[in-house]
Structure formats: C-alpha cells, structure tokens
Structure 1
Amino acid sequence: MALLELSDVSVHYGRIQALCGITLTVEQGEVVTLIGANGAGKTTTMRAISGIRPLSGGRIRFQGDDITRLRADLRVVRGISQAPEGRGVFPGMTVQENLEMGAYARRDKKSVPEDFDRVFALFPRLAERRSQVGGTLSGGEQQMLAIGRALMARPRLLLLDEPSMGLAPQFIQQIFRIVTEINEQGTTVLLVEQNARQALTRAHRAYVLETGRIVKSGTGAELLADTSIKEAYLGVA
C-alpha cells in the first residue's frame, strides 16, 4: 500500500483546467519529485494534496484512507505537512514562535521539545536566530524556517514546494543536503522543484508534468539520463 496515492485527479480554476487526470504514488521512505515548466501544475498538485485546493475529479488516499474531502487542517493532523512556495513565514513572529506554530496541531505536546532539538540540529543558523523575527531573515534562512516549521508537525509526508527558489548557490546546496538528511531520518518527501538536476539527483522516483498531465515517470537516475529531459529541463542539448 502506497503512503500517498492520487488517482485521476483533476483541478479547475474557474473554467481553466489546471490538472487533467493526474495519477501518481509516493511510497513510504521515498523522495519523489515533480518537475516541469512554470504553469505545468506542480504547485496545484501540492495544494490538492494538502487540501488547499478542492478537486473537480478523482481521489486522494493517504495511508490507505480516502482524504479527498478532508479539511486541510485535519490532513496536517493525519501527517501531511507543507513548506509552501514563497516560504510563508510569519514576518512579525520570532523564529521560535514560527516553529511553535508548526506544532499547533500536535496532540503529543510533551515531545515537542524533541522536535525543536531536531530542527535546530538540522538548521544551526535558526538556533542562533531563535529570538529574531522572521521578516528580518535572509531568503535562505526563511526557507530553512519554512521547512523547520513543517517538520514541527512531525509529518509522515513532507511536501516541499520550490525550496531552492530565489536562493544563492551555497544555500541551494545546503537545502538539498538537508532534504536528503530529513529523508534519511525517516520522513517521506514529495518535492516540487525547478532545479531539475538537483531534484532528480536526490529523488528515488520522479514525475514530469506538462500542462496538467504526467507525460513521463521513472527513477531519478533514469530521467537524468533521458535525452528529452536533458534538452527540456537540464540545459543539455
């Protein structure tokens, strides 16, 4: 049984169909990545999984249960947590307070301090800035905070939407190393990423989206070696 299963999922924005019958799976323990051009439907897929965007057709199952109509906050309780595109940190709240917000739905409050320790071990820079307000952090630090906040929910599935967007090269390398480390610690990751080379290098499996449809899938290594993928997404003719 897959941890996450999307079956023939469609999403509309008014009359515009953003997803056209998407079917994909994420197995426990994997890093799975979605790649595609801007407007391909990657972020819409993430919003559908997290419950922010309702489906116009199809079904989503998580741990074997149908969550198609489950509210977004209850999906967090079930174990789906997202670091959204654009980071979405609370600018007037401190690093500590932002992280506390990530744990708002936790029922096991006694173990929350363990997760602070985990986040600060992954992101020592956040530990140094725990009293600093989120709006004054650099872009890379805000991305670390967004991922750390999502981890505070202790998710079974972590959704990462464009974690390297707008970051300096040294931060990009660091973020991807941490994604691998998070996965090695036991968290399943679904990654949407424009940096296709980095994403495919880290992914166990990958799907290619074009205009709301999955046009190709395979292991990360298979897609890295695929000539059409190289030409379209890796800048190699």
Structure 2
Amino acid sequence: MLLEVEGLCVNYGHIEAIRDISFNVPEGSVTTLIGANGAGKTTTLKTLSGIRKVRAGSVKFDGKDITHAAPYDRVKLGISQSPEGRRCFVGMTVRENLDMGAFVRNDRKSKAYQEDIDRVLALFPRLAERINQSAGTMSGGEQQMLAIGRALMARPRLILLDEPSMGLAPKLIAQIFSIIKEINEQGTTVLLVEQNAAQALKAADDAHILETGEIVRSGKGSELAGDDSVKAAYLGGDI
C-alpha cells in the first residue's frame, strides 16, 4: 500500500476539521475524495502534504511513518501536490514555474531533467506554446495545466490533485480528466480531491465520501457512481 491514513484528526484552533478518518491509496491507483464544500477534502490534502499539523492518527508512505515529516521531506520521498486555486507564480514564465516544481532536484542540467520537461510539455502542448509567457497572463485552464505540470516535475510517486476542474469550462474539464488518466497510466499514483463528483467517480478506482470531516462512505468509484443515494446527494440524481 503506497499511502496509509489511520485515525487522522486535524484541528483549526478548537474546531475539528478532520475527525478520525482512515483510508488507503494503493500504488498505481486513482483514489478520490468527494464531498461538499467544507467537508474536509482540502484539509486532508494539506495534512498529507505536511502543511497542516496532525492532532492524532498517523500517515504512512510506502511503509514509512511521515505523520510529522516536513513538507520538503515529503516531496523528496515522492509526494507532490497541485493545490486548489493553482497557485502559479504569476510573475514567472511557464518554464520558471516548471523549474520551481523541481526545487528538490539537483539534476537540472541532466538529460533526465530535460526528459521530464518534455514529458510535461507532451501532456500539455499548450504549455509548450506558452513556455516563455508569464503565468499571470494565461487563462485559468492553462494555469491549471501548469500547476499539474509543476507538481510532476518533482517526479512524484503520488500526486495530490486538489480541485483540478474548479472554474473550468466543460470541454477543458474533460481534457484535464483525460490527462489525469494518462498521468496515472504512465505510473504515477493519484489522490484526487474533486467537487465534480460525477467526473471524479468515473476516473477513480476507489472513492471515499467526506461529510463534515468524517468519511461516511467508501467503495469502488464505479459502485458509488451507481448508488442511488450517492446520485441523489452528490450527482444531481444522474451520472
């Protein structure tokens, strides 16, 4: 098991944001967390990245306890995140943003590094066209591509994707999910937080539903997508 989360509890001050959640992410899978705004999805990813402190419980990555590991060390171990809201460095070019994603690497003049740049540009041809353009001048969809590409530059074994479809047009959403599938097929395990539950469940091998900081349902993505109660609560009655 690549990622093991056991009894995780996280607070914001005196408020319990995450209460005793447990789930696993198998290596090679796409696993998704879905739920309404405020359910605790983003907090979970921030905690897995080391940005939020754990009050109780444990996080293991490839068998190693990383519950209290620093964010930098988690990236070095192979966990990388594309954050909610993209968070591109707007004053930097596309190429400079990609370089920032590789800050833990010391092989920037190597053939392997250029191969990783080429891989990202092959996944996102639009970025190749904008390689010397300032990120702040690009569209929301282009910035989302850049955020994912930047995360890939750390060569993660596990990529955390936080709301990759937020604010995008339907055509772009379909494109982003197609690329997520391709990233996974290339060997990167994916943990996806997504408010677009229909798309997320279609993409996921395993899925967990969060409500007010607790996991209330778990199962295969296809099973939850076909469940009438899930459809009614999260999919507008249809999928």
Map residues 44-193 of structure 1 onto 2, 5 A cutoff.
44-109=43-108, 110=110, 111-193=112-194
Q: Which amino acid aligns with 2:116?
A: D
Q: Equivalents in 2 of 1:81, 1:112: separation in Å? A: 17
SS of the residue 1:54 aligns to: coil
Q: Which amino acid aligns with 1:216?
A: R
Following TM superposition, where does structure 1 have runs of at least 4 consecutive aligned residues deviating by more than 3 angstroms? none
User: 1:108: how far off?
Assistant: 4.0
Q: Which residue of 2 aligns with 1:222?
A: 223
Q: Which residue of 1 aligns with 2:202?
A: 201
Which consecutive unaligned segments of at least 5 residues does structure 2 have? none
Q: Equivalents in 2 of 1:62, 1:26: separation in Å? A: 10
SS of the residue 2:148 aligns to: helix
Q: Equivalents in 2 of 1:176, 1:26: separation in Å? A: 19
User: 1:107: how far off?
Assistant: 3.7
SS of the residue 1:180 aligns to: helix
Map residues 20-59 of structure 1 onto 2, 5 A cutoff.
20-59=19-58
Q: Equivalents in 2 of 1:206, 1:236: separation in Å? A: 18
Q: Equivalents in 2 of 1:228, 1:198: separation in Å? A: 17
Percent of aligned pairs with the same amino acid: 64
SS of the residue 2:81 aligns to: strand
Q: Which amino acid aligns with 1:143?
A: Q
User: 1:169: how far off?
Assistant: 1.1
SS of the residue 1:21 aligns to: strand
TM-score by length of 1: 0.98
Q: Which amino acid aligns with 1:209?
A: L
Q: Which residue of 2 aligns with 1:232?
A: 233
**Residue deviations 1:171-208, cap 9 Å, x none?**
10100000000000000000000100000001000000
Q: Equivalents in 1 of 2:169, 2:134: separation in Å? A: 21
Q: Equivalents in 1 of 2:113, 2:154: separation in Å? A: 9
Q: Which amino acid aligns with 1:14?
A: G
User: 1:59: how far off?
Assistant: 0.4
Q: Equivalents in 2 of 1:107, 1:59: separation in Å? A: 30
Q: Which amino acid aligns with 1:6?
A: V
Q: Equivalents in 2 of 1:179, 1:139: separation in Å? A: 17
Which consecutive unaligned segments of at least 5 residues does structure 1 have? none
TM-score by length of 2: 0.98
Count residues in correspondence.
Answer: 236
Q: Equivalents in 1 of 2:119, 2:135: separation in Å? A: 19
Q: Which amino acid aligns with 2:124?
A: F
User: 1:104: how far off?
Assistant: 1.0
Q: Equivalents in 1 of 2:61, 2:105: separation in Å? A: 18
